[in-house]
Each structure stands twice: as structure tokens, then as C-alpha cells.
């Protein structure tokens, strides 16, 4: 009977546990679930207060934190991807602006170079004109016979260039001392100027 009474006590302890489980815990859990469903239909936010309460419970808080951490990491990752895409678009825009600026800069450099070349050519022409004027003065200071002999050795185009800078009186004296055919050719060319 000793064994039987030990089994009876075990059965009484097990039956009390079953009674508590069936009468108190299961209906209480069911009532809590029904209450939460009703509150959610009424528009009350249940998730946030539940997270706050769960975060204070030691074992459950680690689960809630890890879910929130994962969500936060996912949100942060999406933000980073969006930031990278925005920066890539900005880089593309800046590259386009740089290419346009480089094109404009190249055009300006070419324009400046062309102007410098023109100025240099103008300076060379002016320098050449100054030399020609100087030579014309030298020819004028010579005797007309000697100047005619020197100019007679040049081409008609060169003679015209030099004589166009002389005074009319000196031109006439030099042409008078030149060969008649060459003088006629120079006179015809001077009349077209």
C-alpha cells in the first residue's frame, strides 16, 4: 500500500497541475488573445506596447532587440544604397559638366591662340612694312641711277612693294633710269594699286 499511496499523491499533484492548466492558464491565454484582437480592431496599437513590455523581460528582450536590430540594419542598408545611387548620379552630372567645361576651355584656348597668331602676323607685317619703308627711304637717298640698278635686279612684285612706300617724285626719277620694258611693267602694276 505504500506504493499505492505514493502514486495517489503523484496523481493528486498531477491532477492539481492539470486543473490549474485547464481552468486558469489556457482560458486566461485565450482571453488575452481575444482581448488583443478586439483592441487591434478598435484601432489601438498593440505592437509597440508589447515590444516595450517584452524588451523588459530578460529572455524575450534579446529576441525583440535582435529583430529590431535586423530591421534597423536593413533600413540602414537601404539608406546607404539610396545614398550611393544619389552620389553616383551626382558624379555623372559632375563628369558631364566637366566635359562641357573642358570643351569650352579648349575652344577658348584655340580662340586665344588664333588671336595671338593674328597679332603676331600683324606685328610681322607691321615690322615688314617698317623695313620696307626704311628701304624705300634708303632708295630715295641714293642716286636714281643706282636705285634703278638695284631695283632692276628684283622681281616686278618686289619692285612694286618697295616703290609703293616711296614719294612720287623719287619714284618718277628711279623709273626714268630703269629699262623701258621693266619701267612700263612697274608703272602698270602701280596703277592697279
Residue 170 Cα to chain centre, angstroms: 67
* Mean pLDDT, residues 119-131: 73
Whether 78 is in a domain gets the answer: no
Q: Over 3-34, what HEC string results?
A: HHHHHHHHHHHHHHHHHHHHHHHHHHHHHHHH
Whether 9 is in a domain gets the answer: no
Predicted confidence at residue 105, as pLDDT, reads 92
pTM exceeds cut of 0.85: no
Whether 182 is in a domain gets the answer: yes
User: Which residue range is the domain that position 189 belongs to?
Assistant: 142-193
Per-residue pLDDT tens over the stretch 26-36 = 888 899 889 88
Whether 155 is in a domain gets the answer: yes
114 or 2, which is more confident? 114
Whether 99 is in a domain gets the answer: no
Distance (Å, rounded) from C-alpha 29 to C-alpha 41?
Answer: 19
| Average pLDDT of the chain, as a whole number | 81
**pLDDT at 19 exceeding the cut of 60:** yes
pLDDT band at 104 (very low <50, low <70, confident <90, very high): very high
**pLDDT at 89 exceeding the cut of 80:** yes
151 or 54, which is more confident? 151
Provide the Cα torsion 182, 188, 192, 193; round to 10°.
40
Distance (Å, rounded) from C-alpha 102 to C-alpha 100?
Answer: 5
Predicted confidence at residue 15, as pLDDT, reads 78
In total, how many domains does the chain have? 1
Distance (Å, rounded) from C-alpha 185 to C-alpha 175?
Answer: 10
Predicted confidence at residue 91, as pLDDT, reads 95
Whether 114 is in a domain gets the answer: no
Buried b (16+ CB within 10 A) or exposed e, 126-151: eeeeeebeeebeebbeeebeebbeeb
pLDDT band at 168 (very low <50, low <70, confident <90, very high): confident
CA-to-CA dists, residue 145 to 28, 95, 135, 156, 183, angstroms: 140, 73, 16, 17, 13
Whether 95 is in a domain gets the answer: no
Distance (Å, rounded) from C-alpha 170 to C-alpha 157?
Answer: 18
Grid coordinates belonging to 27: 482560458
Whether 180 is in a domain gets the answer: yes
**pLDDT at 98 exceeding the cut of 90:** yes
Amino acid at each position: 500500500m505504500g506504493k499505492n499511496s505514493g502514486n495517489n499523491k503523484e496523481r493528486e499533484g498531477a491532477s492539481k497541475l492539470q486543473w490549474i492548466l485547464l481552468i486558469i492558464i489556457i482560458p486566461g491565454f485565450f482571453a488575452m488573445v481575444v482581448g488583443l484582437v478586439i483592441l487591434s480592431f478598435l484601432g489601438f496599437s498593440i505592437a509597440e506596447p508589447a515590444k516595450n513590455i517584452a524588451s523588459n523581460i530578460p529572455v524575450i528582450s534579446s529576441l525583440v532587440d535582435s529583430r529590431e536590430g535586423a530591421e534597423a540594419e536593413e533600413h540602414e542598408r537601404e539608406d546607404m544604397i539610396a545614398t550611393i545611387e544619389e552620389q553616383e548620379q551626382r558624379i555623372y552630372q559632375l563628369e558631364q559638366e566637366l566635359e562641357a567645361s573642358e570643351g569650352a576651355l579648349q575652344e577658348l584656348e584655340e580662340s586665344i591662340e588664333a588671336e595671338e597668331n593674328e597679332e603676331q602676323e600683324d606685328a610681322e607685317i607691321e615690322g615688314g612694312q617698317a623695313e620696307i619703308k626704311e628701304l624705300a627711304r634708303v632708295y630715295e637717298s641714293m642716286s636714281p641711277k643706282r636705285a634703278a640698278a638695284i631695283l632692276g635686279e628684283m622681281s616686278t612684285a618686289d619692285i612694286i612693294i618697295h616703290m609703293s612706300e616711296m614719294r612720287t617724285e623719287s619714284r618718277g626719277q628711279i623709273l626714268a633710269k630703269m629699262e623701258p620694258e621693266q619701267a612700263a611693267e612697274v608703272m602698270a602694276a602701280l596703277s592697279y594699286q
